[in-house]
Chains A and B, each alone.
Chain A
Amino acid sequence: GAVVSQHPSWVICKSGTSVKIECRSLDFQATTMFWYRQFPKQSLMLMATSNEGSKATYEQGVEKDKFLINHASLTLSTLTVTSAHPEDSSFYICSARDWGPGSYEQYFGPGTRLTVT
Chain B
Amino acid sequence: EDKVVQSPLSLVVHEGDTVTLNCSYEVTNFRSLLWYKQEKKAPTFLFMLTSSGIEKKSGRLSSILDKKELFSILNITATQTGDSAVYLCAVVVGSARQLTFGSGTQLTVLP
Contacts and interface: CB of A to CB of B under 8 A. Distances in A.
A97 B48 CA distance: 14
Q: How large is the interface on A (under 10, 10 to 19, 20 to 34, 35 or more residues)?
A: 20 to 34
A108 B42 contact: yes
A105 B45 contact: yes
A110 B102 contact: no
A71 to B, nearest CB: 13
Prevailing SS type, chain B contact patch: strand
Nearest to A42: B103
A43 B102 contact: yes
Interface of A: 32, 34, 41-46, 49, 57, 93, 95, 97, 103-111
Interface of B: 31-32, 34, 36, 41-45, 48, 50, 88, 90, 92, 96-104, 106
Given A49-B96, A104-B97, A107-B45, 16 more contacts: A32-B96, A32-B97, A43-B88, A43-B101, A43-B103, A43-B104, A44-B99, A46-B99, A46-B101, A49-B98, A97-B97, A103-B97, A104-B92, A106-B99, A109-B42, A110-B42
